[in-house]
Every structure is written in C-alpha cells, then in structure tokens.
Amino acid sequence: MAPLFYIFAVLAILAALSVVLQRTPVYSALSLIVVLCSLAVVYLLLGAEFLAVIQVIIYAGAIMVLFVLVIMLLNARQETPSDRSRLARWLGAPLLLVFLGELLFAVWERFPAATTRAAALPDAGPRAVGALLFRSYVLPFEVTSILILVAVLGAVVLAKKRL
C-alpha cells in the first residue's frame, strides 16, 4: 500500500505543479485530470471507495467538462506573463515557505504518525453510503432531483436564443 501511496501522491504533486506552470490553458486542464485521478487512487487506498468513484465520475468527468467549456468559450490563448510587482517577487517565496511550514507543523501536532491509519476511518464504501442515503436521508435525496431539475431549466434558459 505504502509504495502505491507515494507513487500517486508524487504524481498528484507533479501534475498540480504542471497545472500552475503550463502557459497553455488546455495543458493545465489535462494536468488537472491527472491530479484528480491520482487523488482518487489515494482515496481508494484510504478505504473511501465511494469517494474515489465519485471523484472520477463527478470531478474528472463533469467538472472538467466545465473547465474545458470555459477555456473554449472565453477563447483563452497562451497566457502572457504579467508585470509582476516587486513586492510579490521578493515576498512571495518566503511567505510561501512560512505558510507551508505552518501547515506542516499543524498537521504534525494534530495527527501523530500512529493515528494516521486507514483502519481508524469509518466504513466509507458505497454500501454504507447507500444505506445512509436511502434510509436516513430520503428527503434530501429526493430534493436533490428538484435541484438538478432547476439547474437543467436554468442551463436551457441561459443558453437558448429563442425558447
């Protein structure tokens, strides 16, 4: 398990760097898919099967469509470097290091190495999620369909020239 985690964690970080550093928006979008899929594998390793599948279906599938559409419709070309302010150039990297150090310290203090085990997590498989969703949370589930219905109407009303 551990080697798999490191492979996909490193892949996610590299792809995330690629998202930020690429100058062409479509390349960034493709790198983002790699980030999302690597995170899905990490969720799977933690035993969160449902979350992993949803990550692929919703994030890598649906949300990415949204990003690509925005790139297409905004007519995004190669990014041109902006005139960076002098303050940002000198203060950016040290502040980033301080922030990362702070984050690392907080995680270290809060979660000692012994407790960060997948076994400590509650069951997050699709069976458990399904049993909760369709027994205890029936009304919220049904209301979701109305929410999606409203979104469908909204999309058609916004994009259609003549109704």
Partner 1 sequence: MFGSYLPILVHFVVVVVVAGAIMGLSAWVGVKRPSREKLSPYECGITPVGDARGRFSISFYLVGMLFILFDVEIAFLFPWAVVYRSLGWFGFIEMFLYIVILLAGYLYIWKKGALDWTR
Q: 38: closest CA among 20, 52, 22?
A: 52
- Structure-block tokens of residue 159: 């994009």
Q: Under the criterion CB under 8 A, does residue 57 sit at the interface with partner 1?
A: yes
DSSP, residue by residue, 17-56 = HHHHH-SSHHHHHHHHHHHHHHHHHHHHHTT-HHHHHHII
Nearer to partner 1, 77 or 92 (CB): 77
Question: What is the rounded CA–CA span in Å between residue 60 and residue 65?
Answer: 8
Nearer to partner 1, 108 or 137 (CB): 137
Site string for partner 1, 36-55 (x = CB under 8 A): --------xx-x--x--xx-
Query: Could you tell me the end-to-end alpha-carbon distance of the chain, in angstroms, rounded to an integer?
Result: 54
Site string for partner 1, 85-124 (x = CB under 8 A): ----------------------------------------
Range 122-146 burial, b when 16+ CB lie within 10 A, else e: eebeeeebeeeeeeeeeeeeeeeee
In the set 2, 3, 20, 66, which binds partner 1 (CB under 8 A)? 66
Site string for partner 1, 122-141 (x = CB under 8 A): ----xx-xxx-xxx--x--x
Q: Are residues 18 and 28 in contact, defined by beta-carbon separation less than 8 angstroms?
A: yes
Nearer to partner 1, 2 or 114 (CB): 2
In the set 2, 20, 73, 87, which binds partner 1 (CB under 8 A)? 73
Which residue ranges make up the site for partner 1 (CB under 8 A)? 1, 4, 44-45, 47, 50, 53-54, 57-58, 61-63, 65-66, 68-69, 72-73, 75-77, 126-127, 129-131, 133-135, 138, 141-142, 144-146, 148-149, 151-153, 155-156, 159-161, 163
